[in-house]
């Protein structure tokens, strides 16, 4: 890897860069941009949910012919929730989170000059960029974007007669996602190969920081499950465009019988959730990895139960591939299968509990440094527990029956994977910003950002459980058609107010982020007094990461406050003293 | 046009913020001892907010929850639900307390060194084995309820009803005197035969098509679900019942209604809920609401998904039988 002597042009440095640090920044900025769109959409449909017949000039301004006098149409409402889900799950929390931090940290923390293949890494980003562009463009077509829910269950997603978004909008959704999957597979393969082959001298697998373990296992889950979504999407494209009947059968719509015969939507559900459930962990595990690193550093304590943490990551990853049926308890699947999936699903609670308790124990008798990243990490543990526990209701086939597809589910998964993962992402940004941009983010704005977000997140999602328990289904354009739900209207107003607060709080983050890139305080080499290798590289980025030899590693990443040392951190590059217990 | 104004406004605000950002460079970016202290205390306050929000929600929103289950199977559902909820709230209360308390208690102080405590085999075993045992109990209990609820065997001479979904309404068909539904397929849909019943099947002739679902109290009902266009989900929350309606296949669910509509209207929890609703409706100048069981669609199915519903009436069995006898059969409805 001698190419750090190459002459760089603007194009090769900032646009078609093969440097993992630049690619990581590209992922982050693209992810943030998509995040702005996704969150803004949620603001619009929350207005609709809280005040269904009220006219809003902001809706009039942004929704064009999809609204009438400031009131959105039911079709665009469904489109907004669909694209909100798609963008947040895939473009923000998969590419934006995993893409950013896997790229930044894998080479830096394992001691490598770059990814195994810089070229493929660049291809991966640009495919992601292309898929983002297609997804965003689909918002502007006449009939509106895809609107069959982010799970795009056929026949609704297959038949433009059933909903206008299932025409060109759905086609663009499928094309965008197919490209996205290619991007994420290329990325994941690169991460796996890099972690396995390019670790520096002494960096045994059992000395890797937990961030790397999380990214590594996440990449494996992605490689195992994303191709299945791709095949599901391809078969759907066949059904839509070439008249096959993989998912469709016996359909009578708008006065005519369609030719489809013998297919089953349940097949699609199986294929979709074979990715769909592992996807939850593709989103969550990197956030948990980031949290492990940040909690340990800022507690000035070793992460408690390092090996148990690795074991639980692996256990979660394995189990995540055999639980997809818990999304289908009432799909018409054989009830015996439901029993099996209940069993495997509730097993996941064990490694999850281990992780939660280990985080809490790491805090115990620590010396907590309350940096913004630490606040978000503690917040993550809180929402991970709150959201995870309601999984005991939803994972239990019998209990799922009456809360399935209600707002209870919406509250559950937003807390456990939405808010938790986004907290992990924010924590990562605050923590590694100095590594990415050579400057520090503003601390005070970080505190305001966290506390407003934390209050808003619980303010939104805690009351939301009750609406679900009242029986209100999700994806309802309005609950005005049922007097039964008149009494949830007030709760919805409370939720929307907290949602607007939460959305507004993100403006603080955006300002802090973009201004700090240019005007932030200059970073020192190791601002958080951390043990890991990325802080041994110079503040100014250089291609190849280390100016001289790559340092050798002599210990694990978590020797914080180790007895026998004056400082409360011992870098991984420090050799063991005579007779020192290597932990 | 207005959209552009919004965007311009956002840009102006961003530039304004930009102008006051020279402070960025002056501020210390890393948490000081003072920050640790303040933020630790805020965590304690946030913990109180958190418990307050939980208690407030339970106090304020309990009344909007669904009333007691209206089916025999639903009663076992409710017990399982209660047991699970108690467990969840117990664990939630303890773990969140520890989290916020530790964040407060161990907020950083200059010069203090954290305890180097990397592992404890014993602790790890405790929080692997205890959850495992508790979960085994939950799984076994849950599965026994599941097996009971999902039992669609016809051992107890159940009533057979087909529930038929389409954008955006429900229909239903009783199996008639032979208690056997005639065959049906969307390819037979024609005129008044909206469910595509196969009139050449002799079981079909005595079937009874209806637009309002009535059920007998105390007799098990087996529902057979079909859909004619996209996925729908037949959700009957008061009976703790839900099953998807899938084009191209027949799905099933069963329950035994245990309270008539009249009885449910006199249930304490229903009365409280209806009072709450009617207070809101009175403020808006709307007619008072009277409780009824509902079948609603719970799988996204298109523009009017939010208004796809059918009333369910539960009656004493004799009353129900008399009503059913008065309804026209398929043979009477469809003139060949």
Check: CB of residue A523 under 8 Å from CB of residue A434. yes
**What is the structure's pLDDT at A1?**
43
Q: Point out which residues pair with B223 in neighbouring strands.
A: B161, B253
Q: What is the domain count for chain A?
A: 2
Q: Edge-to-edge, what's the strand order for the sheet holding B169-174? A: B208-210, B169-174, B159-166, B221-227, B251-255
Cross-chain Cβ contact A519/B24 below 8 Å: yes
In the block, tokens 């795009």 appear at A152
Among A217, A232, A263, residue at a domain's last position: A263
Among A244, A263, A282, residue at a domain's last position: A263
Q: How would you write the pLDDT of chain A (583 residues) with one tens digit per residue? A: 444 455 677 777 778 889 999 999 999 999 999 999 999 999 999 999 999 989 999 998 899 899 988 999 999 999 999 999 999 999 999 999 999 999 999 999 999 999 999 999 999 999 999 999 999 999 999 999 999 999 999 999 999 999 999 999 999 999 999 999 999 999 999 999 999 999 999 999 999 999 999 999 999 999 999 999 999 999 999 999 999 999 999 999 999 999 999 999 999 999 999 999 999 999 999 999 999 999 999 999 999 999 999 999 999 999 999 999 999 999 999 999 999 999 999 999 999 999 999 999 999 999 999 999 999 999 999 999 999 999 999 999 999 999 999 999 999 999 999 999 999 999 999 999 999 999 999 999 999 999 999 999 999 999 999 999 999 999 999 999 999 999 999 999 999 999 999 999 999 999 999 999 998 889 999 999 999 999 999 999 988 999 989 999 999 999 999 998 988 999 999 999 888 877 6
Nearest to B175 by CA among B228, B234, B243, B222: B222
> Which of B22, B49, B114 lies closest to A568 in CB terms?
B114
Every domain of chain B and the residues it spans? 159-333
In chain B, positions 111-170, which contact chain A (CB-CB < 8 Å)? Answer: 112-120, 123-124, 127-128, 131-132, 135, 138-139, 142-143, 145-147, 149-150, 166-167
Residue A96, both tokens:
């934006």
In chain B, positions 189-248, which contact chain A (CB-CB < 8 Å)? Answer: 189, 196, 225, 228-231, 233, 235, 237-238, 240-244, 246-248
∠ at Cα A163 (A162, A166), nearest 5°? 105
All residues of chain A having their beta carbon less than 8 Å from the beta carbon of residue B107 are 368, 370
Nearest to A245 by CA among A306, A169, A158, A312: A158
Answer yes or no: is A330 within a domain.
no
Bigger pLDDT: A428 or B111?
Answer: A428
Answer yes or no: is A28 within a domain.
yes
Chain B within 8 Å of A562 (Cβ-Cβ)? yes
Answer yes or no: is A139 within a domain.
yes
State the smallest CA–CA distance between residue B325 and chain A in angstroms. Answer: 30
Among A263, A282, A297, residue at a domain's last position: A263
**What is the structure's pLDDT at A272?**
96
Between CA A323 and CA B313 the distance in angstroms is 38
Residue among B12, B129, B132, B247 with most chain A CBs within 10 A, to mutate: B247
Between CA A113 and CA A121 the distance in angstroms is 14
Between CA B182 and CA B176 the distance in angstroms is 10
**What is the structure's pLDDT at B5?**
74
Could you tell me the pLDDT band of residue B1, with boundaries at 50, 70 and 90?
low
Cross-chain Cβ contact A478/B186 below 8 Å: no
Instruction: Give the end-to-end CA distance of chain A in Å, rounded to a whole number.
Output: 33
Nearest to A120 by CA among A192, A222, A30: A192
Chain B within 8 Å of A543 (Cβ-Cβ)? no
- What average pLDDT score do residues B143-160 get? 89
Buried b (16+ CB within 10 A) or exposed e, A519-555: ebbebeebbbbbbbbbbbbebebebbbbeeebbebbb
CA of A440: how far to CAs of A208, A266, A433, B26, B27, in Å?
A: 26, 50, 6, 11, 10
Question: Could you tell me if residue B316 is left (phi over 0), alpha (psi between -120 and 50 degrees) or otherwise beta?
Answer: beta
Cross-chain Cβ contact B186/A252 below 8 Å: yes
Chain A within 8 Å of B83 (Cβ-Cβ)? no
Choose from A13-17, B108-112, B279-283 the range with maximum mean pLDDT: B279-283
Chain B within 8 Å of A51 (Cβ-Cβ)? no
ipTM above 0.90?
yes
In the block, tokens 């929103």 appear at B61
Between CA A506 and CA A503 the distance in angstroms is 5
- What average pLDDT score do residues B105-121 get? 91
Between CA B232 and CA B242 the distance in angstroms is 11
**What is the structure's pLDDT at A2?**
43
Between CA A136 and CA A132 the distance in angstroms is 6
Answer yes or no: is A345 within a domain.
no
Residue A576, both tokens:
């063991």
Residue A38 structural domain: 15-263
pLDDT at B19 over 70: no
Rounded to two decimals, what is the model's pTM? 0.94
Cross-chain Cβ contact A568/B302 below 8 Å: no
- Assign residue A84 the CATH number of its domain: 1.20.210.10
Answer yes or no: is A40 within a domain.
yes
Answer yes or no: is A236 within a domain.
yes
Q: B159-333 belongs to which homologous superfamily?
A: Cupredoxins -  blue copper proteins (2.60.40.420)
- Class of residue B316 by CB neighbours under 10 A (exposed 0-12, middle 13-18, buried 19+): middle
Q: Point out which residues pair with B221 in neighbouring strands.
A: B159, B255
Between CA A49 and CA A495 the distance in angstroms is 10
CA A77 distance to own-chain centroid: 23
Cross-chain Cβ contact B277/A484 below 8 Å: yes
Three-class DSSP category at B156 = coil
Answer yes or no: is A393 within a domain.
no
Answer yes or no: is A436 within a domain.
no
**What is the structure's pLDDT at B22?**
57
Helix and strand totals (H; E) in chain A: 19, 4
Q: DSSP assignment of A449-474, as one string?
A: HHHHHHHHHHHHHHHHHHHHHTTPBS
All residues of chain A having their beta carbon less than 8 Å from the beta carbon of residue B289 are 483-484, 486
């Amino acid at each position: 890897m001698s190419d750090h002597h190459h002459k760089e042009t603007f194009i090769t440095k900032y646009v078609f860069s093969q440097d993992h640090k630049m690619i990581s920044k590209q992922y982050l900025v693209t992810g943030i941009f998509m995040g702005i769109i996704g969150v803004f959409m949620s603001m619009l449909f929350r207005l609709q949910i809280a005040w269904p017949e009220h006219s809003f000039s902001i809706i009039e301004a942004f929704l064009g012919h999809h609204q009438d006098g400031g009131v959105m149409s039911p079709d665009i409402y469904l489109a907004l929730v669909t694209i909100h889900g798609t963008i947040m799950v895939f473009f923000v929390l998969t590419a934006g989170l995993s893409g950013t931090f896997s790229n930044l940290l894998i080479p830096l923390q394992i001691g490598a000059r770059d990814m195994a293949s810089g070229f493929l890494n660049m291809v991966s980003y640009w495919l992601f960029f292309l898929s983002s562009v297609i997804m965003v463009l689909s918002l502007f077509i006449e009939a509106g974007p895809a609107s069959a829910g982010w799970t795009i269950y056929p026949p609704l997603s297959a038949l433009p007669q059933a909903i206008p978004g299932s025409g060109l909008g759905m086609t663009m959704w499928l094309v965008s996602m197919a490209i996205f999957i290619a991007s994420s597979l290329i990325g994941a393969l690169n991460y796996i190969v890099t972690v396995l082959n390019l670790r520096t001298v002494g960096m045994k697998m059992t000395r890797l920081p937990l961030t790397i373990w999380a990214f590594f296992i996440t990449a494996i889950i992605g490689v195992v499950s994303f191709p299945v979504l791709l095949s599901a999407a391809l078969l759907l494209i066949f059904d839509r465009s070439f008249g096959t009947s993989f998912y469709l059968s016996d359909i009578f719509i708008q006065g005519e019988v369609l030719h489809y015969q013998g297919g089953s939507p349940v097949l699609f559900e199986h294929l979709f959730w074979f990715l769909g459930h592992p996807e939850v962990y593709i989103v969550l595990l990197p956030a948990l990895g980031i949290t492990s690193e940040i909690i340990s550093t800022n507690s000035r304590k070793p992460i408690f139960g390092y090996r148990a943490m690795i074991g639980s990551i692996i256990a979660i990853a394995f189990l995540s591939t055999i639980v997809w049926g818990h999304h289908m308890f009432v799909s018409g699947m054989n009830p015996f299968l439901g029993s099996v999936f209940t069993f495997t699903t509730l097993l996941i609670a064990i490694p999850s509990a281990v992780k939660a308790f280990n985080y809490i124990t790491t805090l115990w008798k620590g010396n907590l440094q309350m940096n913004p990243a630490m606040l978000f990490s503690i917040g993550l543990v809180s929402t991970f527990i709150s959201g995870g526990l309601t999984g005991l209701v939803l994972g239990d086939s019998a209990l799922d029956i009456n809360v399935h597809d209600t707002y209870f589910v919406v509250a559950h998964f937003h807390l456990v994977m939405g808010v938790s993962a986004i907290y992990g992402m924010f924590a990562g940004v605050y923590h590694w910003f100095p590594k990415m941009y050579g400057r520090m983010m503003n601390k005070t704005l970080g505190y305001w950002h966290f506390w407003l977000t934390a209050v808003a997140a619980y303010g939104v999602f805690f009351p939301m459980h009750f609406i679900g328990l009242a029986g209100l289904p999700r994806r309802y354009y309005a609950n005005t058609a049922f007097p039964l739900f008149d009494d949830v209207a007030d709760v919805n107003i409370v939720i929307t107010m907290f949602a607007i607060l939460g959305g507004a709080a993100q403006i603080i983050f955006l300002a802090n982020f973009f201004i700090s890139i240019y005007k932030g305080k200059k970073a020192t080499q190791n601002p958080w007094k951390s043990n890991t290798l990325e802080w041994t590289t110079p503040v100014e980025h250089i291609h190849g990461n280390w100016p001289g030899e790559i340092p050798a590693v002599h210990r694990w990443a978590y020797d914080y406050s180790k007895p026998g040392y004056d400082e409360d951190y011992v870098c991984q590059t420090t050799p063991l003293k005579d007779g020192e217990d290597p932990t | 046009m207005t959209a552009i104004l919004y965007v311009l406004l956002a840009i102006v605000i961003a530039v304004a913020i930009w102008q006051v950002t020279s402070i960025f460079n002056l501020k210390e970016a890393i948490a000081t001892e003072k920050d640790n202290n303040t933020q630790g205390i805020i965590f304690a306050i946030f913990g109180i907010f958190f418990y307050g929000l939980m208690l407030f929600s339970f106090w304020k929103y309990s009344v909007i929850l669904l009333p007691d289950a209206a089916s025999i199977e639903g009663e076992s559902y409710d017990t399982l639900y209660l047991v699970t909820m108690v467990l969840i709230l117990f664990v939630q209360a303890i773990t969140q307390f520890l989290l916020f308390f530790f964040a407060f208690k161990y907020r950083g102080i200059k010069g203090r060194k954290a305890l180097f405590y990397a592992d404890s085999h014993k602790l790890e075993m405790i929080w692997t084995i205890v959850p495992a045992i508790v979960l085994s109990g939950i799984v076994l209990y849950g599965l026994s309820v599941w097996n009971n609820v999902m039992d669609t065997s016809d051992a107890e001479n159940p009533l057979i009803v087909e529930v038929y979904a389409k954008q955006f309404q429900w229909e239903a068909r009783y199996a008639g005197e032979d208690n056997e539904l005639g065959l049906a397929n969307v390819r037979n849909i024609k005129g008044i035969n909206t469910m595509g019943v196969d009139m050449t099947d002799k079981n079909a002739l005595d079937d009874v098509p209806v637009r309002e679902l009535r059920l007998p109290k105390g007799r098990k009902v087996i529902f057979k679900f079909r859909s004619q266009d996209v996925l729908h989900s037949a959700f009957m929350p008061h009976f703790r019942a839900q099953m998807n309606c899938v084009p191209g296949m027949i799905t099933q669910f069963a329950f035994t209604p245990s309270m008539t509509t009249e009885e449910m209207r006199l249930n304490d929890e229903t009365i409280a809920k209806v009072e709450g609703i009617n207070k809101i409706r009175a403020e808006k100048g709307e007619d008072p609401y009277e409780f009824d069981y509902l079948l609603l669609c719970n799988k996204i199915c298109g523009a009017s998904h939010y208004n796809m519903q059918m009333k369910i009436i539960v009656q004493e069995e004799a009353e129900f039988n008399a009503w059913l006898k008065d309804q026209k059969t398929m043979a009477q409805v469809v003139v060949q």
